[in-house]
Amino acid sequence: MSDILKTTFCGVKFKNPVITASGTFGYGLEYVKHIDISRLGGISVKGISLTEVPGNPMPRIMETTSGMLNAIGLQNVGVERFLKEKLPALRKHDTKIIVNFWGKTLEEYVKVAEILDDADVDMLEMNISCPNIKEGGIAFGTDPEMTYKVTNEVKKVLKNKPLMVKLSPNVTNIRVFAKACEDAGADAISAINTLLGMAINIHTRKPYISNVTGGLSGPAIKPVAVRMVHETFSSVKIPIMGIGGITNWQDVVEFALVGAGAVQVGTANFVDPQIPINIIDDLENHLKVNNIASFSELVGKADFSK
Amino acid sequence: MVGKIVRNQKLNDKYYLLEIKCEEFVREAKVGQFIMINTRHQDYTNDPLLRRPLGVANIEGDKFSLVYMIVGKGTRLLSECQKDTEISFSAPLGSTFTLLRKKRTALLAGGIGIAPVYWLAKTLKEAGCVVDLYYGGRTMDDVVLLEELKETTDHLVVTTDDGSAGIKGLVTDPFGENVNSYDQIYACGPKGMLRAVSEIAMGADVPVEVSLDERMACGLGACLGCIIYVKEGDETLQKRCCVEGPVFDGSKVVWDTVCK
Ligand SMILES: Cc1cc2nc3c(=O)[nH]c(=O)nc-3n(C[C@H](O)[C@H](O)[C@H](O)COP(=O)(O)OP(=O)(O)OC[C@H]3O[C@@H](n4cnc5c(N)ncnc54)[C@H](O)[C@@H]3O)c2cc1C
Ligand SMILES: Cc1cc2nc3c(=O)[nH]c(=O)nc-3n(C[C@H](O)[C@H](O)[C@H](O)COP(=O)(O)O)c2cc1C
Ligand code: FES
C-alpha cells in the first residue's frame, strides 16, 4: 500500500480517509470475521453513553427505496463496559478509533467526554443528532444555543482528544449549527446523521417501526448530505467528515470535492461488509491513474463557476 | 463469499429451490445457520439495498441449497437468477440446532419454516434419531418437497388450514397429542406457531428449540436491529437474532415481545 491515501484530519494521522460510521459497525469486532478491519482508516464505534442503554422496542428497522429507516434508540453497553470489554480487543487492530458518544443531559455529555479523554482512543465524535430518542441527543442538535453550550462545556474538560461534533440534517440551516460548533471550540464537524422519516404498512395500517419515526440512511440521502457538507464547508474553517449514502469511490470523491477532508461509510457496511475495503482500493487507483498526489488535493475543489 | 448457481428450480408458484456451489461454505456451515444473500445479481443498482436472510436447507458435496418463498422484491429477483450466475453472501451466520444421537425427536415446520428443518431432519436421521416431522401450511401449495422429506423422516404428518393436503387443521394438534413421546422438539415457522409449540413442549417438560425470523439489516451483529428478548433467571436479556439466534431455547423466549 502506498502513502497516497494518508490523511491527517484534526491532527490525527489516518492511513486513508475511509472511516466506518457509528452504529453501522458495532464495536468493530463484529466485522473481524468478515473483513480485515486494519485496512480501514478508522472506525467510529456505536454511540456510547454514561450508563448502559437498552434501546427502543422492536421492530427497529425497515428497508425503504435505496435506503433504510432505523430507530435502534442508541442501545449500547455504556462507557465503562466499552472501555473494559470492547476497546482492548479493538485496539489490537491497527486502525484509528473514534468514539461516538452522547448524553441524556449536559452533565452526562461532559462526564462521558471526561472519561474518554483519558482512554486509549484517537478522537471523540459527539452525537447531538440522533433522531430516535426523546431525551438528549437531538435536543442539543436542533437549537444553536444548546449546540454551542454542549460543545463549549465538553471542550472545557477535554485535554487530550480532538472533538468532532456530529450534526443533524433535520434543521433548516445547517450553517448556523456548524458555526456554533466552531465558535464553541470544536475541532471538526461530521455531517450528516440520519434524516427523520417514516413508513406505513398499508395492509396492517401500522408504522413499520415501533418508534413510529426512524432515521433514514443509505444512498437515498446522499444528495442531501452532499449539499449539507457543501454548506458547512462554506461557513466554517474546521475540517469536515462527510457522511451519508456513500457506497463507492465516486461518492467519496464527490464528498471531497464539496469539502469533506475524510468520509464515513455507514449503511453500505450492511449492504456488503467488503464495500469500505473496495472503496479504499478503488480510491487509491483513481488517484494514481489521474496523477493526483494525495486525497487532500481533492478537498473543496468543486467548481461552482457558471 | 461467492458461489455459483447450479440450479434455481421452481417448486410451485410460490416456492423455489436454489442450489449453489461453494466449497468454502459447505466446509464451515452447521445445521440451523443462515446466510445473508445479495439478491441483486447486477451491481449497478442499489435496489433492493439490503441483503436477505435465508436459512440453509441442505448440503450435499460442495453444494448447498436454499428453499425460499416469494414475498417481495428481493425474493422475486432471486427467482430470476439463472444457472451459472455468481451470487455473493455472508455466511455461515448465527447459532445452530443442538444435535443429538439416538433420541426421539419431533420437528415442526410451518410453511417456509421447512427450510432449516429439511437439513435438520436429514442430520438427525443420520445420527440415529427417530425423526417425526409435523409439517403445516395454509394450502397444499405451502407444503413442498414431500417425497424427499419422506426419506429423511420416520413419520411425516402433513396438515393444511383448508384440508387440501394432509389433515385439515393446525400442525400443533397432532403434535400435541404425541408430545410426551419425545426427548427433544425443534420448530421453525410463523411466530404464533412457534409460541404454541413452545408452550406445548414446556407443558410436557420436553426441551424445545425454535428458529426465529426478524428483519435484519447487517446479519452480523452490528446494527442491533434484530433483538429477541430472552429470559435468563430473573433477568430479561436482549439477544441478537443474527448472532445469538436464529435458534433459541423456546422456553426462554419472551413471547409477548416477539408476537405482536
Ligand atoms: C434467520 C432467517 C432465516 C430465514 N430463512 C428463510 C428461508 O429459508 N426461506 C425463506 O423463504 N425465507 C426465509 N426467511 C425470511 C426471508 O428473509 C424474507 O422472506 C425475505 O427477506 C423477504 O424479502 P423480500 O425482498 O422478498 O420481501 P420484502 O417484503 O420486499 O422485504 C422488505 C424487507 O423486510 C424484510 N423481511 C420481509 N419478510 C421478512 C421475514 N419473514 N423475516 C425477516 N425479514 C423479512 C426483508 O429482508 C427486507 O429487508 C428467513 C428470515 C430469517 C431472519
Ligand atoms: C442502524 C444505524 C444505527 C446508527 N447509530 C448511530 C449512533 O449510534 N450514533 C451516531 O452518531 N450515528 C448513528 N447512525 C448514523 C450513521 O452513523 C450515519 O450518520 C448515517 O447512517 C448516514 O450515513 P449512511 O447513509 O452512510 O448510513 C446510525 C445509522 C444506522 C443506519
Ligand atoms: S441484523 Fe444487525 S444485529 Fe442482527
Q: Write the pLDDT tens digit of every residue in B214-245.
A: 999 999 999 999 999 999 999 999 999 999 99
Nearest to A58 among B48, B221, B257 (CB): B257
Question: What is the DSSP code (8-state) at residue B99?
Answer: P
Instruction: Give the burial class of B191: count Cβ atoms within 10 A of its Cβ; 0-12 exposed, 13-18 middle, 19 or more buried.
Output: middle
Shortest distance, CA B228 to any CA of chain A (angstroms): 8
* Domains present along chain B, CATH in parentheses: 2-88 (2.40.30.10), 104-258 (3.40.50.80)
Measured from the CA of A268, which atom of ligand 2 is nearest? 26
Q: Which residues of A touch B241 (CB under 8 A)?
A: none
Q: Best of B144, B213, B227 to mutate for ligand 1, by most ligand atoms within 8 A of CB? A: B213
Q: Please confirm whether the linkage preceding A169 is cis (ω < 30° from 0).
A: no
Per the CB < 8 A criterion, the answer to whether B220 and B197 are in contact is no
pLDDT band at A1 (very low <50, low <70, confident <90, very high): low
Averaged pLDDT of chain A:
95
pLDDT band at A199 (very low <50, low <70, confident <90, very high): very high
List all residues 6 or more positions away from A48 whose beta carbon is below 8 Å from its beta carbon: A76, A77, A78, A79, A82, A99, A100, A101, A102, A112, A116
Interface test with A, best of B49, B75, B90, B240 (most A CBs within 10 A): B49
Q: From the CA of B53, how far away is ligand 1's center (Å)?
A: 6
Give yes or no for A201 touching B (CB within 8 A): no
> Quick check: is A130 catalytic?
yes
Q: Which residues of B touch A58 (CB under 8 A)?
A: 214, 227, 257
Task: For residue range A107-153, list pLDDT tens digits in order.
Answer: 999 999 999 999 999 999 999 987 666 665 677 889 999 999 999 99
Averaged pLDDT of chain B:
95
Measured from the CA of A61, which atom of ligand 2 is nearest? 1
Q: From the CA of B40, how far away is ligand 1's center (Å)?
A: 15
Q: Which helix (H) or strand (E) segment is A18 a member of?
A: strand A18-20
Give pTM, 2 decimals: 0.96
Rounded to 5°, the CA angle A97-A132-A114 comes to: 40
Average pLDDT over residues A50-58: 93
Residue matched to cell numbers 445547517:
A174
Shortest distance, CA B66 to any CA of chain A (angstroms): 20
Nearest to A63 among B50, B218, B222 (CB): B50
- Nearest ligand, CA of residue B224? 3
Shortest distance, CA B16 to any CA of chain A (angstroms): 23
Q: Which residues of B touch A (CB under 8 A)?
A: 38, 46-51, 88, 90, 214-227, 238, 243, 257
Residue of A nearest to B48 (CA): A66
Contact B223 A218 (CB under 8 A): no
Contact A34 B90 (CB under 8 A): yes
Task: For residue range B107-142, list pLDDT tens digits in order.
Answer: 999 999 999 999 999 999 999 999 999 999 999 999
Average pLDDT over residues B175-192: 96
Which is the CATH superfamily of the domain at A3-296? Aldolase class I (3.20.20.70)
pLDDT band at A36 (very low <50, low <70, confident <90, very high): very high
Distance of CA B133 to the CA centre of its chain: 13
Q: Which helix (H) or strand (E) segment is A165 a member of?
A: strand A163-166
Q: Best of B37, B50, B220, B239 to mutate for ligand 3, by most ligand atoms within 8 A of CB? A: B220
Q: From the CA of B52, how far away is ligand 1's center (Å)?
A: 6
Residue matched to cell numbers 420416520:
B154
What does the alpha-carbon distance between residue A124 and residue A133 come to, in Å, rounded to a whole number? 21
Res A3: pLDDT: 87
pLDDT band at A171 (very low <50, low <70, confident <90, very high): very high
**Which region holds residue A10: left if phi is over 0, alpha if psi is between -120 and 50, else beta?**
left
* Helix, strand or coil, per DSSP, at residue B36: strand
Which grid coordinates are listed for A298? 481533492
Nearest to A147 by CA among A159, A162, A165: A165
pLDDT band at A55 (very low <50, low <70, confident <90, very high): very high
Residue of A nearest to B242 (CA): A30
Rounded to 5°, the CA angle B82-B83-B89 comes to: 80
Res A127: pLDDT: 95
Contact B225 A267 (CB under 8 A): no
Q: How many CB atoms lie within 10 A of CB A235?
A: 16
Return the domain boundaries, chain A: 3-296
